[in-house]
Amino acid sequence: MIEPLVLLPGLMCDARLFQAQITAMSHDRAVTVAPITGGKRIEEIASGLLDQLPHRFALCGFGLGGSIALEIVRRAPERVTRLCLITAEVQADTPQIAADREELIIGAQAGRLDDVMRSVIGSDMLAPGPKRIPILDDVLQMAGALGPDVLCDRCEYCSGVRISKARCDGSRGRP
């Protein structure tokens, strides 16, 4: 059997994002979708994952998962045998992007998570075709299952700065 494959999902995605890849690749290798939780910064998440991942593995990250994958490679290049990055950001957010993320959080916390996700996805993210609407529906379901508090946490990972309490307190009374 070839090396295991570790998949890291994006901003508001979970294992469902990689269902087709899991099905296709799990016949000849172990495939794991690792959670992108366990810290308040990308560095903390990567460190926590390295404690749990196999000694050597192939790594694929999508979006935020790609940024975490890059940090894993930076910390332990000898452990990653192959790397695939899909729409990964390699630079920190600019102040404008961080401000735009706060607007997303405001909308999500106000009960408009579907609208926020549609704006994030945009009209050009998904290719035209018969699977476009089902894929969009899947993404919206993943985001809905994760909820606005996860959006807030993950936007903090992306920006590297704490989002203000007024923008991110949700129902759990964050400090």
The pLDDT-based confidence of 1 (bands split at 50, 70, 90) is: low
Q: Where are the domains of the chain?
A: 5-86, 95-168
| Amino acid 127: pLDDT | 84
- How does pLDDT run across 57-96, given as a tens digit for each residue? 999 999 999 999 999 999 999 999 999 999 887 777 788 8
- How does pLDDT run across 147-166, given as a tens digit for each residue? 998 888 888 777 654 444 43
CA 120 to chain centre: 13
CATH topology for the 5-86 domain: Rossmann fold (3.40.50)
pTM for the complete prediction? Answer: 0.84
